[in-house]
Chains A and B, each alone.
Chain A
Amino acid sequence: MADSKSVLFKIRRQGSPHTSPHWEEFSLAWHPGMNVISSLMEIARNPVTRDGKPTTPITYDANCLEEVCGSCAMLINGTARMACSALIDKLEQPVRLEPLSKFPIVRDLAVDRSVLFENLKRAKAWVPIDGTYDLGSGPRMTMEEQEAAYPLSRCISCCCCMEVCPQFNEDTGFVGAATISQVRLFNTHPTGSALKRERLAALMGDGGIQECGYAQNCVEICPKDIPLTRSISEVGGAVMKQAIGDLFRK
């Protein structure tokens, strides 16, 4: 740290998906309670590097600023996490900011995470209630079912679990923990279970649940403490049951 009243940042910049990246350093005056997103906002108000060179504001995704929207995931000091809940006082300096490494870059710290949305669609991660008439109220869920489902429903699609997964890359095409956990959520939902077989069949495709190497990084990194490895085991069992059942019945 240059002096105790300032905060140093080292930020990886990239103008477009086709240009090569470079680093820029910024120095901000310290004030209490600042986090990575509030710092990026400050830089945007006065986009001048540490050496006094004017530059462009840093592009990043953010929305809720309270760790529930999932948009501000980035690599902070090399670790995938939500920028809004990354308090500067708890970070080593200089604070190194990079975009998530496994998703196509848009600009600076913004990446294209639509692969998760595509995977959720492929796995039919929704409750099918579309129809031409009123279906009435859904079946009741027991307290036990609700308590198991609630943690799963907290997924914010931040993609941290996919970023830290050694099996998630273009070669494997691995679907990632988030989608598998959503399959568990919707398969245990009394109405959602109508699509159970289709969801499990989807996860048997290339890049499906079998690509999991059980390194368990997903459950370590998840900012919402979702029991992701438990979901992978539960869904893994359901997929196996269906695969073996199909051997005899299909």
Chain B
Amino acid sequence: MRSSAILRVFVFMLVVLAAYLWVGQAITAMTGGERKAASVVEVTPEGGEAIFWGKGRCFTCHSLGGEGSAVRCPNLGQFGEKFPLAIGARAEQRAKERSDETGTHYSSTDYLVESLARPDAYLVEGYKNEMAIVYAPPISLNLTEIKAVIAYLQSQGGDLDLEGIENPGELAQTYYARIAAASAAGGGDPGNGEEMFVDTCSDCHTIQGEGGEVGPDLSSIGNKGLKFISESILRPARKITKGYETWVVVTESDERKHVGLKTEETSTEVEITKATGEVATIARDDIREIEQDEGASVMPDDLTEMLTVKDFQDVLAYLMMQKGEDGAEAETGK
């Protein structure tokens, strides 16, 4: 083996690596260096711009006129025939459209807040609903940052209304409450959480009069805080609401064991409602044994295997929003 061959190969490698470095250097010179994104604490168009092109990652899906290269979602600037108006002016038009569609008055701020808080509410034709929940991980914008983005979008061809952003009407306030609840719950998506709740929990639990009655009414559960709700889902037996304890009744005649809530009790009978909703009425004379099982809950303890992390966060976010009438009013600042 000739040493000159090794040397030639080594020099060749250095040339290749130098070319690689040059490409990296040239691209960095064009596109900028390391990417740090700072939090924004002021609701201004400048703050929103920093979020739009930084932490919020809006630019990965939306272009703004000639800025940016994303085509996945609508261009938010004035761009070609499809988008003759920039988003600020477009929002005013869309607000009218939404008002007509829903019968509720929309301001341009309402429309923009809705677009960020519930992107599926209105879809631009030809585009799919694939917008990330911006107040959920990994983006996790807080309410101030979201307001700043709205200010930035309004400034694109529209009338900037900072007062309207800070103190909007009822509709936007509801969405602000939704974002605040979701942020508190680790950033879940309450919309998906509601669907998950209906599919998984509503057979037993009621919210605002909808659902089953085996478990406690959860219409005001949000007032109990995140920790309580989280514990109740993950370890239902640890904190059982009074009146929802688990009872075990063994009958004399057929030695059957009935496990469930004691929903009715008279001098002659005991009514046990099982997790499935089935109701067993047992004569007191037929009871061999009746006792409360303090270590068990009627609520399934394998929910964690049925829910993904995201589903769990989504349900939490939805439940955090359930603050009854008083709670909801307090949340929206009324």
Whether A and B are associated in the same complex: the answer reads no
